[in-house]
Structure 1
Amino acid sequence: MLDPEVRITLRLPQSLRDKLQDASLRGKRSMNGEIVERIDYTFERLEAQLDHVRTTTATRLADELQARRVQLSEAHDEIKRLSAQLDMRDAERATLQAELQDIRERYEERRYQVVDVRALQAEMERNRHILYVLLDADGQPISWPEIMAHLGEIVRNSVGAIDKIEAIVFDAEKASSDERMENWIKLREHYRSLRASGQSKLIDDGD
């Protein structure tokens, strides 16, 4: 169906009319045909430009949208990675707290053990069997071998275990080595003979 035509009155500058006339002659068209062609071309060109802008804009927006999607995906992956690290650190923190609690419990247990050991040591110190010995040489020469012989015989005749001996010797005069050795030999033989006869004891009830 043909597009119906309408008549309009158009006023133009003389210079523009001359240009249209020259163009119509070159294009072998009437003045009216030249004007219609040029107006129609303007609209087509504008539509083409608009289509180009639409296409370019749509392409640019699509590229930007894809870039945003990629960035969003990367951000999502980063969030997952950080969440995993956070979960791992929470697990490590829980493990460290459990280890710390275990260390505290062991410390408290050992502290009480130390207290128990100290209490036991104090109790043992209080219950130690200490033998206090006073040796009176009565003016006779005495030597360390003789002292040890006396103490050994006292220990052998004691009732119960002896943990410590504290001995004090009075009137221990100086004597020659030969004399101290002779006295020690006599003392040792004396105790041996008493033990052999069953007469060795700390206190003689009859004397």
Structure 2
Amino acid sequence: MATADIQTNVRIPRELKERLEAAAAADGRSLSSEFTVRLTFAYEAEAMLKKAHAEIDALLVMSKELRAMVDEARTDAMKARTAQALAEANAMALERDLQQLRTTQAAEAQDARQGLYVLLDSHGYPLSWAEIHEYLAAMKRIGGLSPADMHVQIVTPDMESSSKRAKEAVALAKRLRAEGKSRPIPKLS
């Protein structure tokens, strides 16, 4: 029977040959069989080592990708925490501004309630503008109010103004505007 094996001569160091002979004797093989087993094992081990290196390289790539994903997630988390902190700071600032606005509005409402509303009526006849000016000047001295800050209501029996009062009101408005103490007042008819 013919075998497919080929015979070849190989030069190896003496110490290696002695080690191969001892291993062959221990395993119950011939020197040729031991040499074939050991050489086959070396090639298989080399192929397994190459495969292991390829798997390690693939794992390293995956590890880098995972590390990048973790870093991105950390960055996103830090951005989210920063955005949340900013939103909370903005909410606190808005709440503070709203509270200041409420306080200001409450103070203005209180001022409006405490404002000086004068009903000028003399037994069914309006006071003269000279008397009205006298009252306004007294209120300014006592209360520290300017005519532009005062809310004055003049009531006549028929709730209408006379043409003389209308002219005097226009003159008063012009004078106050010239002094910078009043906004434009609409003409009275």
Q: TM-score, normalised by structure 1?
A: 0.50
Q: 1:104 Cα deviation (Å)?
A: 0.6
Secondary structure at 1:157 match in 2 = helix
Count of residues in correspondence between the two structures: 120
Deviations 1:4-36 (A, max 9, x none): xxxxxxxxxxxxxxx4xx88xxx9xxxxxxxxx
Q: Which residue of 2 aligns with 1:49?
A: 40
Higher relative contact order (CA 8 A, sep 6+): 1
Secondary structure at 1:168 match in 2 = coil
Q: Which residue of 2 aligns with 1:130?
A: 119
| Unpaired segments ≥5 residues, structure 2 | 8-28, 137-150, 164-189
Q: 1:81 Cα deviation (Å)?
A: 2.0
Secondary structure at 2:155 match in 1 = strand
Secondary structure at 2:121 match in 1 = strand
Q: 1:132 Cα deviation (Å)?
A: 2.2
Deviations 1:46-97 (A, max 9, x none): 3232122111111101110111111112211221222122222222221221
> What CA distance in whole angstroms lies between the structure 2 residues aligned with 1:157 and 1:47?
130
Which residue of 88, 93, 96 maps to 2:79?
Answer: 88
> What CA distance in whole angstroms lies between the structure 2 residues aligned with 1:122 and 1:86?
52
Q: Which residue of 2 aligns with 1:160?
A: 135
Q: 1:128 Cα deviation (Å)?
A: 1.1
Pair 1:78 & 2:69 matched: yes
Q: Once superposed, what is the RMSD of the aligned Cα atoms? A: 2.9
| Unpaired segments ≥5 residues, structure 1 | 1-18, 28-37, 136-149, 170-183, 185-207
Q: Which residue of 2 aligns with 1:97?
A: 88
The structure having more radius of gyration, on CA atoms, is 1
Q: 1:41 Cα deviation (Å)?
A: 4.2
Q: 4+ residue stretches of structure 1 with deviation over 6 A? A: none
> What CA distance in whole angstroms lies between the structure 2 residues aligned with 1:103 and 1:41?
91
The one-letter code matched in structure 1 to 2:86 is: T
Q: TM-score, normalised by structure 2?
A: 0.54
Q: Which residue of 2 aligns with 1:107?
A: 98
